Structure 1
């Protein structure tokens, strides 16, 4: 019903395409302009000029601002509601958002502690109260906005629009997951680890697409994505990632793509799907992921 519900509001499928096209053009320009540029060195130059916190703001605030663009476009151009963009339920389920957020936050903290005690030489203590406190509040505001923008654009606006246009679920599921991964291709992690890291980004897109379609709403995806970026940025930073922050720890190990890709995509994400499926009693997987978008009765 997450896609089907829109049929009774007579929304035009073409209205779902201007935002993704414009965002795609911006991403292409960003990727093309960064070719041949050492993005890691560029971020370090920004840090030297602006400081860590203001560099973080400069990198994240444009995406945070775009959340407002998506929501305003949805409300005033499409005459839609945030509730319809978010869920098929009668109202947005904040308990789902919080459950997903705290579940993934707990797993992130636990795995970070295990990594720290298993290989303490891979980390250095980075905590500075004077720098951490302002960063904490900046991150608390900007990161959920940034992650919500990505969810509302890809698994909200684009997934629903492609579903209405193609009358399928598998096309929007696969297309939005792939495009979500490709969006990260200009990240410095790709330069450091190689294109193999795209398996993680596209795998994350597939995981969040499954969660959205099976749960008939964005709530679980919103909570997971916010926890993934926020808690990760607060706990650990490194000198070669997109987020270089005043975090508690700094990872000084030599980056390797193997375990960082295999464990989340092929072990942890299936485990999370199992937990969500049991808690929220998911069923009819084939139809919800690969079935047709059926016309509503009396539409």
Structure 2
């Protein structure tokens, strides 16, 4: 398919260029998180002093079960490896002689060390206590909810810089193999997904399998719905651009096997959601693999959409529709998006996994049947 083939025909595709740009994207996401979430504590303290205190205590508990000597060394190691990774990689990417490969290897080793240090620091990023307090804050503060959603598209800045100046390819080629982004196809995927999810939700309710509870609250619904419809498509598009776009292109380019790319990126997509409230609940109940399987199947289905469409348009549409449907229409308790939806259902991990596969299969078949006729692609 042209979407993957373009990475071999145009621009720079050295293995260290893929690692370097993904690493830059991750650093951009961390910086966006630090900047955009910095007001959350003052917001919590302003809304409810007790919630603000709980916010502080939850942050403090992250240090209770860690070895501070290890954390200190990891933090220092992250700064050092980040600096060397940046220097060596830039030298490798700008040097035209034989030494570029050596600098590329050195940069790759430094970046690997940076990833390792981030892994060691990850226990500080989230805990069941901090996740619970954050969800309580998001349910009370539309501004906090908007800031969390905006951390996703903010991280794309570094990816786009890397795409243009490191890989020397167009930003459009990251989104689609066509001559322009097909907004109509993305909107079609949104409509199809909403219809399928709506019919399934009300059908399951009619048969008493997963009853719907009417929870509409006009005092909170409209502002959260507006934020969800405005910002969730940006959040969903970011995840698709990174996972089904950049990482799929990277792994396929390096392995020459799209199925390896689809499986690895779907596993990574699943792992990214391990800090979600439902994942933490699933771990406590001993059913974590069942809970997380839904994320793997969703990621793999999105990969199939990219393969089918030669671009990200339908995958972005399905992802945005799925998340907005949950946030606005039918949500569930302990959701990662604690919004005041119109209806609410009781989550059931086993059934949810089955219905996720069924829903994705129906959506894939429908979008395959509705796929547009081939047109001339960009060179």
For Structure 1 versus Structure 2, the TM-score category normalised by the shorter chain is 0.7 to 0.9
TM-score (norm 2): 0.65
For residue 128 of structure 2, give the secondary structure of its aligned residue in structure 1: coil
Determine which structure has more spread, i.e. the larger CA radius of gyration.
2
Is the aligned partner of 1:262 residue 2:354? yes
For 1:59 and 1:27, the matched residues in 2 are separated by 21
Residue in 1 aligned with 2:365? 274
How far residue 215 of structure 1 moved from its aligned partner, in angstroms, is 2.0
Q: How many residues align?
A: 278
- Measured against aligned partners, the alpha-carbon deviations of 1:91-130 in whole angstroms (never above 9, x if no partner) come to 2222211111110011122222234444499444322334
Would the aligned equivalents of 1:11 and 1:78 in 2 still touch at CA under 8 Å? yes
Is the aligned partner of 1:172 residue 2:261? yes
Residue in 2 aligned with 1:70? 159
For 2:122 and 2:195, the matched residues in 1 are separated by 34
How far residue 225 of structure 1 moved from its aligned partner, in angstroms, is 0.5
Q: How large is the RMSD of aligned CA atoms in angstroms? A: 2.9
Residue among 37, 49, 53 paired with 2:128: 37
Q: Residues 150 and 36 from structure 1, CA distance in 2 versus in 1: closer, same or farther, beyond 3 angstroms?
A: closer
Residue in 2 aligned with 1:136? 225
For residue 233 of structure 2, give the secondary structure of its aligned residue in structure 1: helix
| Structure 1 spans left out of the alignment, 5+ residues | 283-298
How far residue 21 of structure 1 moved from its aligned partner, in angstroms, is 3.8
Judge which range, 155-164 or 62-71, deviates more: 62-71
Would the aligned equivalents of 1:64 and 1:143 in 2 still touch at CA under 8 Å? no
Residue among 19, 22, 31 paired with 1:20: 22
Residue in 2 aligned with 1:208? 302
TM-score (norm 1): 0.81
For 1:146 and 1:170, the matched residues in 2 are separated by 25
For 2:136 and 2:229, the matched residues in 1 are separated by 25
Residue in 1 aligned with 2:72? none
For 2:211 and 2:121, the matched residues in 1 are separated by 32
Larger RCO: Structure 1 or Structure 2 (Cα < 8 Å, ≥ 6 residues apart)? Answer: 1
| Structure 2 spans left out of the alignment, 5+ residues | 28-114, 374-378
